[in-house]
Amino acid sequence: MTCILLADDQALVRAGFRMILETQPDLKVVGEASDGAETVTLARQLQPDIILMDIRMPGVDGIEATRRLAQAGVTARVLMLTTFDHDDHVYASFRAGASGFLLKNAPPEQLVSAVRTVAAGEALLAPAITRRLIEEFVARPRTGAGLPSPTGDLSQRELEVLRLIARGLSNAEIGARLFISEGTVKTHVTRILAKLGLRDRVQAVVLAYETGLVQPGRPAQTHRRAGDQPRP
């Protein structure tokens, strides 16, 4: 059973999400919060698996609440909700530790699928809108020195996989691009996250862009190693 905490300042929105989610036998809403501060308090008490977090809430917003959850060691994964597909806060939510985001007007089946995807430990990065937003915000001029790159411990193959993760490719798509099995891709992803001390693919994407490993708008460069064969 996946336990969910709803965080939105509009009671009708929370009620709608609850109604959709609780039609599923494997999903359970364990609490509701109307602002970020209440969300952090309830998350500590209820220990949900997933938090559906509205980005724009009065007082402590969803981004700051996500930061506080990470600092408090709360293990719940955060799925951000936004009304606008070009919300300036979406990329900031990734940096704060969110595992994905979804538009509030998404159809019910997409909401359910998104919750299950994030609950399974995967990041919600497949939609093209996510890739576009990441590139748009990372491409903006930044002040100060660039971040040091911690990717030196990665093998050449792991760097290739990380670049493709940053492009929003799924494990199956990465496997097809590199001519390796999906299981091998999963192993590479697990090792990448462990070596870099990252929680999930979203954090890997943010790191890849912010350290310059991937440049917005440039195609990822990959190659086959000796012995790699195309899959039938």
Q: What is the predicted pLDDT for the residue at 88?
A: 64
Q: Exposure string (b/e) for 201-224, b if CB count within 10 Å is 16 or more?
A: bbbbbbbbbeeebbeeeeebeeee
Q: In what order do the strands lie in the sheet with 2-7?
A: 27-33, 2-7, 50-54, 77-82, 100-103
**Percentage above 90 pLDDT, the chain:** 47
* Predicted local distance difference test score (pLDDT) of residue 118: 87
Residue closest to 7 by CA, chosen among 105, 89, 80: 80
User: How large is the average pLDDT for residues 164-174?
Assistant: 85
Phi then psi dihedrals of residue 16, to 5 deg: -65, -45
Please report the domains of the chain, with CATH numbers, ordered by start residue.
Answer: 2-124 (3.40.50.2300), 147-232 (1.10.10.10)
pLDDT digits (tens, 9 = 90+) for 17-49: 999 999 999 999 999 999 999 999 999 999 999
**Confidence class of residue 96 from pLDDT cuts 50, 70 and 90?**
confident
Give the pLDDT confidence score for residue 32 in this predicted structure. 97
pLDDT score of 228: 45
- Give the residue, 205 or 174, on which the prediction is more confident: 174
Q: How far are the Cα atoms of 3, 47, 62, 149, 211 from residue 78, in angstroms, in the given order?
A: 12, 12, 10, 26, 24
What are 221-230's pLDDT values in tens digits?
554 444 444 3
DSSP codes, 144-199: SPPPPP-GGGS-HHHHHHHHHHHTT--HHHHHHHHT--HHHHHHHHHHHHHHHT-S
Give the residue from 153, 162, 152 showing the smallest Cα distance to 201: 162
Strands (E), 35-136: 50-54, 77-82, 100-103
CA distance from start to end of the chain: 38
Hey, what are 200's tokens?
């999930």
The confidence score (pLDDT) of residue 1 equals 94
**pLDDT for residue 227:** 44
Residue type (1 letter), 188: H
